[in-house]
Amino acid sequence: MNLMKYFNYKFLKENLKQGKGIILFFLMILPFANIVSLFIHNLNHKYIISFANLSLLTYIGMFIIPLVIAYVLFGFIFKKKSVDFYLSQPINRKSIYITNLIGGICLITFTLIINVLIFKIFGVFTNISMPMSLITDYFIYFLVSYIFFYLLYILGFSLSGNLWTSLVVSLLLLCFVPFLRVVNNYFINLNNVYLVCPNGSLNCDNNIISADRAINEHSFVTPISFLFNSIYRNIDVIHTAIFALIYLFLSYYIFNKRKMENNESSFKNPRIHFLVKTLTVIPLCFIVYLCLTESTFDETLILIVLSFVYYIIYDLITRRSIYKFPLTLFVFIVTLGISLGIFTGYKKFSNKDIILNNVTEIKTERYDIKNKDVINKILQDEIDYKYYDYTNYTHMYATITNDNIKYTAILPIKETLLASLDEYLLPEAFDIAESDYASLYYNESFPITDNFRNMLKDYQPGNNVYDISYDLYKYVNHDYQKISIIVNEESSLTDYTMKILNSDFIKEYKNDNNVYNYIDILGFNDEDLANSYGLLRYILNANKQEFIKYLEEHQNDKITKDYIKIMSNNRCYFISDIVSFKELFNKFKENVQNDTEYQRLLKENNEYYK
């Protein structure tokens, strides 16, 4: 089919012209919101923008913007007057559908392109510079998702006679199957999950683990999977695209066959009205069931009454009258009864113990463990775990795959085992010189400059003498991968890092007027101080100007293995010239010798350590 044969540019132009105000408003609101969001990130020095950070507002817009576009272009079918006007124009239904479809897709593409441009412009003027692969993921993910929603709404419009009903139909198409999955998951997660002991028996202590069956997100479309896991996944995008294609063909067929006299009411056929209305009440029946099993009878009764009120209001909104009240009451009672019966029966049917005897994968945020030996070691840790021994364990969130079914669990793992995992489980995720962002230990990230990149090229691992590390991030395989590197003994990166740290320390210390803030000097011994932060703080703050002057003069000193480290407010300053600092510090001490506060602190300190 030659689509362009059915595309009528003049019709689209005129059709958009009449809705230009509302379309422009909704198309511009998203870029505007994104600008504000990026400004806030920039102000908070959050320069690593993840897919979730970037997507949140666009995700919310996904429910609204395609609806607005669909309403402007296809909303005429809800009113008799506009149906007469549009369909009497010299354009046939196929052309109306295809013209409006292409027009809507162009608007969606245009909005997303504006957003992409905003992201790129932010990269030029701020430290927020998003990797192109992230922006490409964003564009593909939301282009497919927005088109999916647009087609979903057109299908809803074509199936029903007014806006409210079409929204209900669209939501049912979108959410009903995921709702059933959630219900199914709820019942399955009431089960006990057992780990089989290494010898295959169930009789070892503590073999029951707290685990939930993971929702199989792979069978969802992007709008739903984003709720569970807001990362880009090709499989979600492919599913969404397939559903979008199905909706395209369905909506095209139904729009062409649609009885245009069906408008200003829900459905021409009251049976379909009843069916749709009843489907919408089933989730409420599930909540009633939950209330019945976990709450009081009074609360359940109130919920039932509220559900029935909703059932009535649905009629009032979609048909502007209550449709056969006795029948409505009867259908509601029958639906509630059947639903409660099914849920109760399903709980009984599904409530059996699950035994994990064939774990093939344990996946955490950091590791994807498929090695059978490692899996066994981790599971053995879980079996051996005793709650009073918690200090030797770390609890990690993991997804366990057993016989192709996934469970989410919190697994205790010995610190010693965890420490050894990195060695043989983590592949080099990327070449560090290709990193997008770096983050110093105090967690402020920055995009990598050419200069920094060159230093990374020359980087060689060494000893961690300064206890300073960088986390390097790169957007690989649709997510940020992280590699941590230590600042080694001697390299251009070391000097560069020390300058950054020292300069940052001075800046923070200068602006810090709180005399009670923490300050410490690691690697520095003074017999009078005996680890008294109070005394140290008093001596340094009493000589603050002179101290700052010293720090400024020595901030570019070359670092050596023998150093002392001043720490304050999550910043640190490295001093290599220990002798000069010692002299300075003694001078500072003399300056405050006669201060009563100093004497008081000294006395307090001596008594404490007596």
Partner 1 sequence: MIELKHLSKSFGTSKDVLENLSCKIPDNAIYGLVGANGAGKSTLLRIINSIYKADKGKVIIDKKDAIDNETLKKEMVFIPDDLFFFNGYSLYNMAKFYQAMYPKFEISFVIKEAHKLKLDLDTNIQTFSKGMKRQCALLCAIATNAHYMFFDETFDGLDPIVRKHFKQLLANQMLKQDTTIIMTSHNLRELEDICDNLGLLYKGNILFEGDIATLKTNMIKVQISLKEEFDENNFKDFKVLSYKKVGKVATIILEDALDSKEKLKKMKPIILDYLPLTLEEMFIYQLEAKGYEFDEVL
The binding site for partner 1 (CB under 8 A) comprises 10-11, 13-14, 18, 79-85, 87-95, 257, 259-261, 268-269
> Which residue number, 89 or 606, has a Cβ lying nearer to partner 1?
89
Q: Where are the alpha helices (DSSP H) in 44-92?
A: 51-74, 80-87
Kindly state the smallest distance separating residue 245's Cβ from partner 1, in Å: 24
Q: Where are the alpha helices (DSSP H) in 385-529?
A: 415-425, 450-457, 492-511
CA–CA distance from 368 to each of 50, 414, 583 (Å)? 20, 18, 54
> Which residue number, 10 or 610, has a Cβ lying nearer to partner 1?
10
> Which residue number, 264 or 353, has a Cβ lying nearer to partner 1?
264
Q: Where are the alpha helices (DSSP H) in 160-228?
A: 163-188, 222-228
> Which residue number, 81 or 372, has a Cβ lying nearer to partner 1?
81
> Is 328 in contact with 315 (CB distance < 8 Å)?
yes
Kindly state the smallest distance separating residue 93's Cβ from partner 1, in Å: 6
Kindly state the smallest distance separating residue 354's Cβ from partner 1, in Å: 52
> Is 163 in contact with 71 (CB distance < 8 Å)?
yes
> Which residue number, 84 or 458, has a Cβ lying nearer to partner 1?
84
DSSP state of 521: E
> Which residue number, 8 or 439, has a Cβ lying nearer to partner 1?
8
> Which residue number, 54 or 73, has a Cβ lying nearer to partner 1?
73
Distance CA(41)–CA(34), nearest Å, equals 10
> Which residue number, 11 or 459, has a Cβ lying nearer to partner 1?
11
> Is 73 in contact with 104 (CB distance < 8 Å)?
yes
> Which residue number, 95 or 580, has a Cβ lying nearer to partner 1?
95
Distance CA(469)–CA(440), nearest Å, equals 6
As given in the structure block, the two tokens for residue 516 are 């009670």
CB neighbourhood size of 525 (10 A) = 10
Kindly state the smallest distance separating residue 160's Cβ from partner 1, in Å: 15
Q: How many CA atoms lie within 13 A of 270 on its CB side?
A: 8
CA-nearest of 192, 126, 204 to 385 is 204
DSSP three-state, residue 299 = helix
Q: Judging by DSSP bridges, how do beta strands 354-356 and 193-195 pair with one another? A: parallel
Tokens 């909005």 map to which residue? 111
Q: Where are the alpha helices (DSSP H) in 258-371?
A: 270-294, 297-319, 325-350
Kindly state the smallest distance separating residue 266's Cβ from partner 1, in Å: 13
Kindly state the smallest distance separating residue 193's Cβ from partner 1, in Å: 54
Kindly state the smallest distance separating residue 70's Cβ from partner 1, in Å: 18
> Is 310 in contact with 336 (CB distance < 8 Å)?
no
Kindly state the smallest distance separating residue 159's Cβ from partner 1, in Å: 16
Helical pair 20-43 and 93-125, crossing angle rounded to 10 deg? 20
CA–CA distance from 14 to each of 11, 80, 153, 391 (Å)? 5, 20, 22, 70
> Which residue number, 85 or 249, has a Cβ lying nearer to partner 1?
85
Kindly state the smallest distance separating residue 17's Cβ from partner 1, in Å: 8
Tokens 């230590």 map to which residue? 486
As given in the structure block, the two tokens for residue 537 are 């703080």
Kindly state the smallest distance separating residue 14's Cβ from partner 1, in Å: 5
